[in-house]
Structure 1
Amino acid sequence: MLPVNKNGNIGIRLTIFTVGLFVMSFGIVLLIEAKVGATPWDALHVGLYQIFGLTVGTWTIIAGFFILMLGSLYIKEWPQAGAYLNMLLVGLFVDFFLWLPFIETPPSLSGQWLMFLSGLILHAYGMSFYISGRLGAGPRDHFMLALVRKKGWKVSSIRRGIEVIVMGLAWLIGGPVSIGTFVFSILIGTIVGISLPQCERLSDIIINNRLNRKEEV
């Protein structure tokens, strides 16, 4: 990996961060609209929307804010600004994509699974790209890292436990928990393991090239 000045060129890192969240949000909506099972968290957001109204994106923001506060109180440390920005932008982007009339559930089962797999890949690469901007973890990752710091448990164990609990809550309130939810939970770690190093290399190249051009000027 190329060396990169993490404190330099906030503009390009913010662009990388925002583009990554935009792509990830598109993936989230494809997973929801495929109707074969959303992610555990998004199944919870959809379930809350079906019961209480508002919008799916609004519940994404509300749940994110609650998780951020819970993690911050637990470790007595405020999260980075990127965590708040993550929460707000994902909620807005999700509602934007859900509002678009041409994103519809395919009529055939094969089409639904194709949409699901496309959403899974976009979700993983979008998440990896926003992380590579190095502006802070999102609300769920902030909470997970808080538990790691306090309890010393393995990241994989904590993440798996959180996902199972959220999936159970989503199922209880009638969220779209189905076979796709389990497929997502099984595959997302593997795909991110491939996409994150790729996105980090790409972001480091973009940031370093930008910094080099500024130094030449």
Structure 2
Amino acid sequence: MSKENKWRWTFFFIGLATMSLGITMTIKGKIIGTSPWDVLHIGMFKQLGLTIGTWSILVGLIIILSTSLYLREWPKLATWLNMLLVGSFIDFFNWLLPNTTIFPLEITYFIGGLFVMSTGCALYISANLGAGPRDTIMMIIASKGFSVRTGRTIMELFAVTTGWLLGGPVGVGTIILALGSGYIIQWTLPKFRYQLNKRIA
């Protein structure tokens, strides 16, 4: 494996693990709501059992198969790894991190999770090895003449509405995560790209 690929995959794996840790932290602080997709995953967990991470994997698998049929192309390896690893990491960190019902600690979990999740997302995106399953839907919607922001909004509205109907935790935190993460990713992504280019130069 070339030096460039080693660094890209390093950024990719560390980014996924970091993002998953942040996702789990926001789930632990769900008193004020979780991200749109986690509203769906938690709602399915409440209604059907299994684990939150397992539902993340299964929903991702359905999305991958659907988008592959639509695009008539096989997803990249990184897309499959994204689906499998994020769900697995979520279950691992959910087991590792202690639960709490103390409101200040839940808020701390949530705020910390927002920054950790967004930073991890920027780190894995900087590797440029392939989009995650949900990002692929966003880009398909955007290719129909909508902006990327509109595509993301449509996708997340569907997820949060379905999850809420299943009993998932929706609140002001859901809005904060949907809007706030983009600003953090936008700020950190160029820095990670700079660091990656510096290492593979």
Q: Does 1:132 align with 2:126?
A: yes
**Contact in 1 for aligned 2:142/2:150 (Cα 8 Å):** no
> Where does residue 111 of structure 1 map in the other structure?
105
| Paired position in structure 2 for 1:212 | none
Q: Secondary structure at the match of 2:111?
A: helix
* Alignment correspondent of 2:60: 64
Q: How does 1:137-216 map to 2 (within 5 A)?
A: 137-149=131-143, 151-208=144-201
Contact 2:53 / 2:86 at 8 angstroms: preserved in 1? yes
Aligned-pair CA distance for 1:199: 1.5
Alignment partner for residue 79 of structure 1, among 75, 84, 89? 75
Deviates more, 1:132-141 or 1:197-206: 197-206
Equivalent position SS for 2:85: helix
1:9 match: secondary structure? helix
Cα drift, residue 112 of structure 1:
2.0
Amino acid at match of 1:21: L
Question: Does the 8 Å contact 1:120/1:188 carry over to 2?
Answer: yes
Distance in 1 (alpha carbons) for counterparts of 2:4 and 2:186: 27
**What corresponds to 1:25 in structure 2?**
20
Local SS of the residue matching 1:69: helix
Whole-angstrom CA distance in 1 between matches of 2:146 and 2:49? 37
Give the C-alpha shift of residue 63 in structure 1. Answer: 0.4
Q: TM-score, normalised by structure 1?
A: 0.87
The CA distance in 2 between the partners of 1:8 and 1:68, in whole Å, is 29
Deviation for aligned residue 1:94: 0.4
Aligned residues: 199
Question: Cα–Cα, structure 1 residues 202 and 106, in superposed 2: closer, same or farther, change >3 Å?
Answer: farther
CA-atom RMSD, angstroms? 1.5
Q: 5+ residue gaps in structure 2?
A: none
Unaligned runs of 5+ in 1: 1-6, 209-217
1:41 aligns with 2:37: yes
Provide the identity percentage. Answer: 40
In 2: Cα distance, 1:32 partner to 1:47 partner? 12
1:110-138: per-residue Cα shift (whole Å, max 9, x none)? 33222211100111110000111121010
Please state how far the C-alpha of 1:180 moved relative to its aligned partner.
Answer: 0.6
Contact 1:41 1:167 in 2 (8 A): yes
Q: C-alpha distance in 1, partners of 2:75/2:141?
A: 14
Question: Which of the pair has more CA radius of gyration?
Answer: 1
Query: Paired residue for 1:12?
Result: 7
